[in-house]
């Protein structure tokens, strides 16, 4: 699926997304959908859409198929034990199982996960632009569209002047944040400290994904709270962040952390110590978005999520109705069972280039 505009972050650029969808069916014919958030190239994390395509039939399916499961919560420990890594591949299947269970119970995914909000606040993530002036224009447009928080991608040489332009375009409202996608080193602390004057709500993932220790050295040198994204691969890393003081906010993406069970555990332990969390995005289609919106309806998600409506990304989404936003809020379809939107099978059919069916018994 072609994005309506290319999305550029410090580590790479994306225009065309190859989407891997999982449709899970149980013995009674109930169906659940999941979406793998991995990209074509390993720029955000090591996984790609092709490593997930390999991992699902080779190592995930044998664990899951043909067995009885009491709850989708039982999948995470089984998949963790079965083989290492590949959290995005695991998440795609685990989240499909949560959707399937919601359908079985005739409940909304939001309700099944323990969500309570009828609507969720939405922020936009703006990719790196060609110039500060262009970023200022995009920032103003986003403000006018009603977004509750504007996040700007930064990297070395594309930071202070760009953020200054965004801040000037906005004035004091709405909240402004930046996301570095691991583009900096601890030596860059003086530059990062200069961002303090823009009163950002957070700086997301300044340093390397596996570097909680240096984030802990950086945080006391900044007034701006650090939010970790790539670093938080599961509940244990969230605990490490809290213990070490590597950051003060967590971006939870269920597709990054192995699925909804892991995402909820992170939510719960952050909530217990007063760490705000928010739901990140990975340029998902309407299916992944449905999962994110449901998760973001949990009580600890106190900051706006990267939950832009379908039209921000796609000419035509693969769900009906497409996701929309009003006054910076996305409605959580809690009155409808499952995802709360219809999966557009015809559209998916038109777009499908590869398909693999995995029967429960050979
Ligand atoms: O770091 O949050 C990120 C998109 C791709 C990879 C990484 C990130 C992002 C975004 C997009 O910021 C957020 C969205 O889906 O709108
Ligand atoms: Mg991020």
> From ligand 2's centre to the CA of 67, what distance in Å?
36
∠ CA 30-33-39, nearest 5°, is 160
Nearest ligand, CA 3: 1
Which ligand places an atom closest to the C-alpha of 150? 1
For residues 186 and 214, is the Cβ–Cβ distance under 8 A?
yes
Instruction: Using the atom order of ligand 1, give the atom closest to the CA of residue 127.
Output: 12
Give the distance (Å) from ligand 1 centre to CA of residue 281: 5
Quickly list H helices, 83-159. Answer: 87-105, 109-113, 132-145
Question: Ligand 2: distance of its center to the CA of 9 in Å?
Answer: 9
**Rounded distance, CA 181 to CA 204, Å?**
7
23 Cβ partners below 8 Å, 6+ apart?
A: 31, 32, 33, 96
Task: Judge if pTM exceeds 0.95.
Answer: yes
Which residue from 5, 9, 42, 252 has its CB within 8 A of the most atoms of ligand 1, so it is best to mutate? 9
Q: Report DSSP letters for 193-227, one per residue.
A: HHGGGG--S-EE--S-TT-HHHHHHHGGG-SSPEE
pLDDT at 14: 87
- Whether 153 sits among the annotated catalytic residues: the reply is yes
Atom of ligand 1 at shortest range from CA of 251: 2
Q: How many CA atoms lie within 13 A of 254 on its CB side?
A: 33
Phi and psi angles of residue 184, each rounded to the nearest 5 degrees, phi first: -110, 170
Q: What does each of the 362 residues of the chain score in pLDDT, given as a tens digit?
A: 999 999 999 888 889 999 999 999 999 999 999 999 999 999 999 999 999 999 999 999 999 999 999 999 999 999 999 999 999 999 999 999 999 999 999 999 999 999 999 999 999 999 999 999 999 999 999 999 999 999 999 999 999 999 999 999 998 888 999 999 999 999 999 999 999 999 999 999 999 999 999 999 999 999 999 999 999 999 999 999 999 999 999 999 999 999 999 999 999 999 999 999 999 999 999 999 999 999 999 999 999 999 999 999 999 999 999 999 999 999 999 999 999 999 999 999 999 999 999 998 65
**Separation between Cα atoms, residue 250 and residue 137, nearest integer Å:** 28
Tokens read off for 229: 């994204």
């Amino acid at each position: 699926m072609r994005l309506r505009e290319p999305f550029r972050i410090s580590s790479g650029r994306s225009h065309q997304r190859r989407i891997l969808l999982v449709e899970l069916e149980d013995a009674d014919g109930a169906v659940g959908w999941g979406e793998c958030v991995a990209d074509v190239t390993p720029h955000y994390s090591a996984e790609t859409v092709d490593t997930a395509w390999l991992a699902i039939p080779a190592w995930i399916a044998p664990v899951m198929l043909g067995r009885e499961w009491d709850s989708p919560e039982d999948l995470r420990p089984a998949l963790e034990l079965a083989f290492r890594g590949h959290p995005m591949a695991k998440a795609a299947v685990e989240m499909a199982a949560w959707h399937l269970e919601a359908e079985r119970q005739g409940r909304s995914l939001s309700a099944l996960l323990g969500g309570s909000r009828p609507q969720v606040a939405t922020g936009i993530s703006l990719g790196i632009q060609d110039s500060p002036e262009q970023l200022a224009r995009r920032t103003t447009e986003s403000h006018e569209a009603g977004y509750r928080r504007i996040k700007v991608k930064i990297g070395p040489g594309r930071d202070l002047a760009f953020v200054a332009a965004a801040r000037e375009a906005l004035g004091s409202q709405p909240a402004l944040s930046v996301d570095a996608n691991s583009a900096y080193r601890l030596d860059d602390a003086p530059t990062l400290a200069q961002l303090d004057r823009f009163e950002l709500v957070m700086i997301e993932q300044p340093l390397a994904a596996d570097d909680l220790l240096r984030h802990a050295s950086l945080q006391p040198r900044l007034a701006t709270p650090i939010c970790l994204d790539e670093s938080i691969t599961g509940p244990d890393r969230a605990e490490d962040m809290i213990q070490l003081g590597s950051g003060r906010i967590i971006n939870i993406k269920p597709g990054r952390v192995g699925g909804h069970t892991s995402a909820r555990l992170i939510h719960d332990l952050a909530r217990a110590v007063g760490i705000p969390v928010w739901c990140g995005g990975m340029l998902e289609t309407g299916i992944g978005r449905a999962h994110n919106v449901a998760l973001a309806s949990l009580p600890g998600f106190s900051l706006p999520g990267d939950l832009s409506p379908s039209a921000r990304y796609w000419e035509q989404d693969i769900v009906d109705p497409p996701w929309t936003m009003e006054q910076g809020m996305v409605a959580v379809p809690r009155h409808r069972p499952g995802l709360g939107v219809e999966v557009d099978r015809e559209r998916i059919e038109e777009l499908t280039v590869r398909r693999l069916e995995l029967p429960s018994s050979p």
